[in-house]
Amino acid sequence: MRITELDQREYKKLDDKAYSLEKRRLQIELLKLQEDVIKNNRKLCVIFEGRDTAGKSSAIKLFSEYLIPKNFKYVHLGIPTKWESSHWFQRWEKVLPHNGEIAFLDRSWYTRSVIEPVMGYCTENQYKYFMSKVNKWEDDLIKNGTEIIKFYFSLSKDQQERRINARELSELKYWKLSENDKKIMDKWDVFTLYKDRMFKKTGRDNSPWVIINSNNKMIARLTALRYFLNKTDYENKKLLKPLKWSENIANYTAKIEGVRFENLNYDQYTILTKYSDDT
């Protein structure tokens, strides 16, 4: 089993100004990477997996914010058709990156290894077939030139409960919360069991899982992007060390339901963001 759990202490104390500056520095490097992908006809597939409210979509938004639109795609597939459910790998082959393209997958083929069996969306035979074939299928993709990065955004149970409650009460985000989201909260331990099986079976040297602690979404986004840039080759690479942050400055900003709270100290910021789905 190959799993990479990242040390995020470099970003532990992060104010709003420092976040914006670091984000800009990393996004400049990401644009260089994309230009290299275009120039050399590379295919990059970046997977974002994790529980609901873990911050996958907001991370993809940060990654893609300033990229050249025609050379990347955001993939978020809905409920599979009957044919897609029985032809699982073919379903995902249709959305893989082409030459000169980066694809960001907001959930991936790995939904069959966790969410689908937990929620009863696939049969036991479909689950077993997937688990027996996925490594070979993925190896073939890699041999054919597809570069794969697999992120798993991990958050604590109490943090997920707070975010789900925040969404339920939100006048702007209530629509993001479905009945299935609530049901899966009751299956936390079963979800964990299948997740651990997935890590053990599919975390390998040529395709490891990269675990991102996403209890703080801002830190998670920067950590994921920095890892991606560190582990991917591209021309004119110049990745600077993270800036130093301080918990003593009163310059933290939190946004809750579109309302900004500014000039917070770190303790105030920590308390407020516990009840927000934005950070």
**Which residue intervals of 40-76 are DSSP H helices?**
56-64
pLDDT of residue 167: 82
The answer to whether position 276 is within a domain reads no
Is pLDDT at 270 greater than 70 in this prediction? no
Per the structure, the count of domains in the chain is 1
| 3 state SS for 13-34 | CCCHHHHHHHHHHHHHHHHHHH
Rounded Cα gap, residues 121 and 138, in angstroms: 23
Binned at pLDDT 50, 70 and 90, residue 1 comes out as low
pLDDT of residue 163: 86
pLDDT of residue 271: 63
pLDDT of residue 161: 87
Over residues 192-232, the pLDDT tens digits come to: 999 999 999 999 999 999 999 999 888 899 999 999 999 99
Residue partners of 199: CB distance under 8 A and separation at least 6 = 1, 3, 152, 209
The answer to whether position 134 is within a domain reads yes
The answer to whether position 264 is within a domain reads no
| Alpha carbon distances (Å) from 228 to 41, 136, 222, 277 | 18, 24, 10, 24
pLDDT of residue 246: 41
In the chain, at which residue ranges do the beta strands (DSSP E only) sit? 3-5, 43-50, 72-75, 101-106, 146-154, 209-213, 252-256, 259-264
**Which domain range does residue 7 map to?**
3-250
| Arithmetic mean of pLDDT, 263-278 | 60
pLDDT of residue 137: 98
Tracing tokens 């109490």 back to the chain, one arrives at 158
pLDDT of residue 97: 98
Over residues 120-144, the pLDDT tens digits come to: 999 999 999 999 999 999 999 999 9
The answer to whether position 175 is within a domain reads yes
Phi, psi of 156 (to 5 degrees): -75, 160
Over residues 64-108, the pLDDT tens digits come to: 999 999 999 999 999 999 999 999 999 999 999 999 999 999 999
pLDDT of residue 13: 60
Looking up residue 199, the CATH number of its domain turns out to be: 3.40.50.300
The answer to whether position 273 is within a domain reads no
pLDDT of residue 245: 45
| Arithmetic mean of pLDDT, 145-168 | 91
pLDDT of residue 175: 81
The answer to whether position 267 is within a domain reads no
- CB neighbours (10 Å) of residue 220? 28
Is pLDDT at 111 greater than 80 in this prediction? yes
| Arithmetic mean of pLDDT, 274-278 | 58
Phi, psi of 35 (to 5 degrees): -60, -35
The answer to whether position 270 is within a domain reads no
pLDDT of residue 44: 98
The answer to whether position 271 is within a domain reads no
Binned at pLDDT 50, 70 and 90, residue 248 comes out as very low
Over residues 15-47, the pLDDT tens digits come to: 777 888 889 999 999 999 999 999 999 999 999
